[in-house]
């Protein structure tokens, strides 16, 4: 309790979602929930709620962090969405896909990572940078009252969160402790095997996050940008998201930098 977040390395984290033609054919419908669907072909004219270090670059990239130490950045879709069906309270099925690249200021060392999240709260003023990824803090981490679902692209191993390594993807519920995680990799349909990826390789990668509300199943798939969606997800877990989602929720991205030790 009261511990100052200390993660080494600073980084820039970009989400160039559908900026170029190459990405358009892969991301035809990057977000769908019930009757809601929207696509961003670059962010130059996008209506997003930004805070902290997050900004839109002149060429339409969403930049979450800029390499300065101990900063956090968030980008949220400003309109609330309904992830639970009323009056039943069941979680809605949804899918999202996005393209990202992490450009570390120190390419031979790990950075901090980023998350895609669904939450009831648009205010992240109390969230900490570094290993907390601008999402939670050392007081509320793990509390059910957070009502946060997140997929983390984590590039630093933190023992307090029982991370498996410094290059993994995790599914998180109200906590930075992942309910399930896996080395960053993708399923090669030709060989039937997983192949490793480096999240700080500076390469463009695509993520698919899909939830079957009826089956309470969450799938997360990762792949290089030039690939179609692999047949097998990287992560698949059974979790009743109706216990996490509230009637009104927001979606967005978060990222944070730490300090050099």
Please answer whether residues 4 and 132 qualify as being in contact, where contact means their C-beta atoms are separated by less than 8 angstroms.
Answer: no
Q: What is the arithmetic mean of pLDDT over 28-45? A: 66
Share of the chain above pLDDT 70, in %: 82
What is the pLDDT, as a whole number, of residue 8? 37
Task: Give the DSSP H or E segment for 117.
Answer: strand 113-119
What is the pLDDT, as a whole number, of residue 188? 97
Per the model's pLDDT, the better-predicted residue between 188 and 12 turns out to be: 188
Q: What is the arithmetic mean of pLDDT over 86-107? A: 81
Please answer whether residues 111 and 10 qualify as being in contact, where contact means their C-beta atoms are separated by less than 8 angstroms.
Answer: yes
Instruction: Flag the least confident range among 3-12, 110-119, 161-170, 199-208.
Output: 3-12
Beta bridge partners of 206: 99, 223
Pairwise CA distance, residues 191 & 160, whole Å = 36
Looking at the predicted structure, is the pLDDT value of residue 112 above 70?
yes
Token readout for 21 is 């033609």
Q: Which fold has domain 11-256?
A: Jelly Rolls (2.60.120)
Mean pLDDT of the chain: 83
Domain ranges of the chain: 11-256
Token readout for 174 is 């109200």
The position carrying tokens 């950045």 is 73
Which of 215, 227, 252 shows the shortest CA–CA distance to 117? Answer: 252
Residue-wise pLDDT tens digits, 186-243: 999 999 999 999 998 889 999 999 998 887 999 999 999 989 999 999 999 999 999 9
Q: What is the arithmetic mean of pLDDT over 124-135? A: 94
Pairwise CA distance, residues 148 & 172, whole Å = 8
Which of 137, 186, 130, 163 shows the shortest CA–CA distance to 7? Answer: 130
Looking at the predicted structure, is the pLDDT value of residue 11 above 60?
no
Which of 148, 145, 140, 112 shows the shortest CA–CA distance to 250? Answer: 148
Looking at the predicted structure, is the pLDDT value of residue 132 above 80?
yes
C-alpha triplet 81, 58, 49: angle, nearest 5° = 25
Residue-wise pLDDT tens digits, 45-58: 888 899 998 988 88
């Amino acid at each position: 309790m009261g511990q100052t977040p200390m993660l080494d390395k600073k980084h820039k984290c970009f989400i160039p979602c559908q900026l170029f033609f190459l990405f358009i054919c892969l991301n035809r419908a990057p977000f769908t929930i019930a009757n809601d669907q929207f696509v961003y072909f670059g962010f130059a004219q996008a209506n997003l709620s930004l805070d902290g270090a997050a900004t839109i670059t002149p060429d339409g990239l969403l930049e979450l962090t800029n390499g300065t130490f101990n900063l956090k950045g968030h980008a949220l879709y400003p309109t609330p969405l309904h992830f639970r069906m009323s009056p039943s309270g069941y979680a809605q099925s949804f899918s999202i896909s996005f393209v990202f690249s992490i450009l570390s200021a120190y390419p031979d060392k790990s950075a901090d990572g980023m998350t895609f999240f669904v939450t009831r709260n648009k205010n992240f003023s109390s969230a900490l940078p570094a290993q907390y990824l601008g999402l939670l803090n050392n007081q509320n981490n793990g509390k059910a009252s957070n009502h946060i679902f997140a997929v983390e692209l984590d590039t630093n191993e933190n023992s307090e969160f029982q991370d498996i390594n410094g290059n993994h993807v995790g599914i998180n519920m109200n906590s930075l402790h992942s309910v399930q995680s896996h080395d960053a990799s993708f399923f090669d349909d030709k060989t039937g095997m997983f192949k490793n990826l480096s999240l700080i390789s500076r390469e463009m990668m695509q993520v698919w996050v899909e939830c079957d509300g009826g089956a309470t199943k969450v799938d997360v798939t990762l792949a290089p940008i030039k690939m179609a969606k692999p047949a097998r997800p990287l992560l698949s877990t059974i979790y009743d998201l109706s216990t996490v989602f509230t009637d009104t929720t927001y979606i967005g991205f978060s990222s944070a930098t730490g300090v050099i030790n």
